[in-house]
Amino acid sequence: MVFEFKLPDLGEGVAEGEILKWMVKEGDQVKEDQPLVEVMTDKVNVQIPAPRSGKVAKILANEGDIAKVGQTIVVIDDGSSGAVIPAPTQGLASPARAVPAQQTQPTQASPGVLATPATRRLARELSIDISAVRGSGPQGRVTDEDLRRTVAAPRVVPSATVQAEVPAAHGAREEVVPLRGMRKIIAERMVKSKQTAAQVTHVDEADMTELVLLREAFKGSAEKRGVRLTYLPFVIKALVPALREFPYVNSSLDEQAGNIVLKKYYNIGVATDTEQGLVVPVVKDVDTKDIFELAGEIEKLAEKARGGQLALDEVRGSTFTITNVGAIGGLFATPIINLPEVAILGLHKIAKRPVVRDGRVEVRDITYLSLSFDHRVLDGAYAARFTSRVIETLQDTKKLLAEVF
């Protein structure tokens, strides 16, 4: 029997995924639950196991292709009958149809041009007319290398041609890097966020002098527990009373239903810088954990994020996000909201600055906090009061100690 395996529902809000790597090839025998393919979604990389044992009869999605949830990506034949195999489709816009088993050529968007879906996609990204490219592959197939040679080759421009209308040629001193993978997903998510939410950023400063001392006092205890104590767990705990007092900050906007969904739980997304791009693992139920538990969980999630080993459940369900650029530097930034949330808090470097206290100039440990928020849900005054509440807790050791344990 032939089994058409479709890209499964990978969870909350995931509609498609990029085929990163096949662990098998056509003709291979696979066993049920054996790693089959690695797929990257806008939330996480995930390995999908084989749904059953059999022979890989046909792979319908090349590495680099974008597959929709419900799209047939591979056909597995268990050998019980001479069943049909779906023919490959151009790209992955619709599920493949079953046809009698036979050798087929890829569907061609340009007449007379042989090219894989991934190569056609690269041609679109590089703004190349694939029909004008001479292919060097078997039977004249256009390859990725053919496209790159076309981009690098000098172009002869007729004198009557207006220069502004001719795409710039890339010479030996330039490198063309296709926008794909995690970078492409991040780009799409950031544009969607900016185009969807009415984003405004409120900036305030916080005196972290007492918190610096408090962290130093607890670092030894944290080390005995095998965790590295940063400022992030303290800030997360300071968020909890503020999110309780200002529940609309801990919400999402359901545009289709016309509802604001207030969350009664506190799952904090922690933006993490990785070689592949920005990933946001989620620390769940932060109100129930002390600073040592939070520190350990943040460290573990960050390591998994950098290793590309996060599970889907570890990157979904956040109600509010923090992005910490303090170790990198800069005064402050205007972070982009992590949809479908309505706000994100930017943390920045703590630096000694002269400030006026009781009419005297003192040197204190100061930082800036920047809250980007969706003005469709939160008014400016509401967002400012929320930020002030967070700062109040951070600056008051007694209030903070009441939250951290």
Q: What DSSP string describes 114-132?
A: ---HHHHHHHHHTT--GGG
CB 240 within 8 A of CB 403: yes
Which two three-digit tokens encode residue 75?
A: 């056909």
Which two three-digit tokens encode residue 403?
A: 């939250």
Percent of the chain at pLDDT exceeding 70: 83
pLDDT digits (tens, 9 = 90+) for 257-312: 999 999 999 999 999 988 878 889 999 999 999 999 999 999 999 999 888 788 87
Work out the end-to-end distance of the chain between its first and last CA atoms, rounded to an integer number of angstroms: 58
Give all strands (DSSP E) within 50-95, no chain letters: 54-59, 66-68, 72-77, 85-86
Please give the full DSSP string across 332-386, using - where no structure is assigned: ---PPP-TTBSEEEEE---EEEEEEETTEEEEEEEEEEEEEEETTT--HHHHHHH
pLDDT higher than 80, residue 19: yes
Which two three-digit tokens encode residue 158?
A: 């007729």
Number of neighbouring beta carbons within 10 Å of residue 155: 10
Helix axes 291-306, 232-245, angle to 10 degrees: 110
Pairing of strands 16-22, 66-68: antiparallel
| Confidence at residue 88, expressed as pLDDT on a 0 to 100 scale | 42
pLDDT higher than 90, residue 381: yes
84 pLDDT tier (thresholds 50, 70, 90): low
Q: State mean pLDDT over 171-200.
A: 84
152 pLDDT tier (thresholds 50, 70, 90): low
| Confidence at residue 256, expressed as pLDDT on a 0 to 100 scale | 87
**Distances 62 to 72, 120, 337, 348, 356 between C-alpha atoms, Å:** 12, 12, 33, 42, 63
Which two three-digit tokens encode residue 187?
A: 């780009």
Least confident span in 215-219, 275-279, 313-317, 347-351 = 275-279
Q: State mean pLDDT over 147-162.
A: 58
Q: State mean pLDDT over 135-158.
A: 69
| Confidence at residue 105, expressed as pLDDT on a 0 to 100 scale | 36
pLDDT higher than 60, residue 160: no
Least confident span in 30-34, 144-148, 172-176, 299-303 = 144-148
Which two three-digit tokens encode residue 238?
A: 């300071």
Residue with more model confidence, 224 or 96: 224
Strand order across the 29-30 sheet: 2-6, 72-77, 54-59, 29-30
Percent of the chain at pLDDT exceeding 90: 50
Measured in degrees and rounded to the nearest 5, phi and psi for residue 228 equal: -100, 120
Amino acid identity, residue 130? I
107 pLDDT tier (thresholds 50, 70, 90): very low
Q: State mean pLDDT over 376-393.
A: 97
pLDDT higher than 70, residue 110: no
Is 348 noted as a catalytic residue in this protein?
no
Residue 194 C-alpha from the chain's centroid? 15
pLDDT higher than 90, residue 214: yes
| Confidence at residue 143, expressed as pLDDT on a 0 to 100 scale | 82
pLDDT higher than 80, residue 43: no
Q: Is 330 left (phi over 0), alpha (psi -120 to 50) or beta?
A: left
**Distances 141 to 11, 114, 129, 176 between C-alpha atoms, Å:** 37, 5, 14, 22
118 pLDDT tier (thresholds 50, 70, 90): low
Round the average pLDDT of the chain to a whole number and report it. Answer: 83
74 pLDDT tier (thresholds 50, 70, 90): very high
| Confidence at residue 2, expressed as pLDDT on a 0 to 100 scale | 86
Which of 68, 71, 125 shows the shortest CA–CA distance to 96? 71
Cα dihedral value 57, 62, 63, 69, nearest 10: -90
| Confidence at residue 81, expressed as pLDDT on a 0 to 100 scale | 59
CA atoms within 13 A on the CB side of 263: 21
| Confidence at residue 393, expressed as pLDDT on a 0 to 100 scale | 96
Q: Can you tell me whether residue 397 is helix, strand or coil?
A: helix
Sign, CA dihedral 326-331-336-342, equals positive
Q: State mean pLDDT over 363-373.
A: 97
| Confidence at residue 166, expressed as pLDDT on a 0 to 100 scale | 47
Which two three-digit tokens encode residue 148?
A: 């790159």
pLDDT digits (tens, 9 = 90+) for 123-132: 777 778 887 8
Active-site option among 170, 202, 348, 375: 375
Global pTM value: 0.67
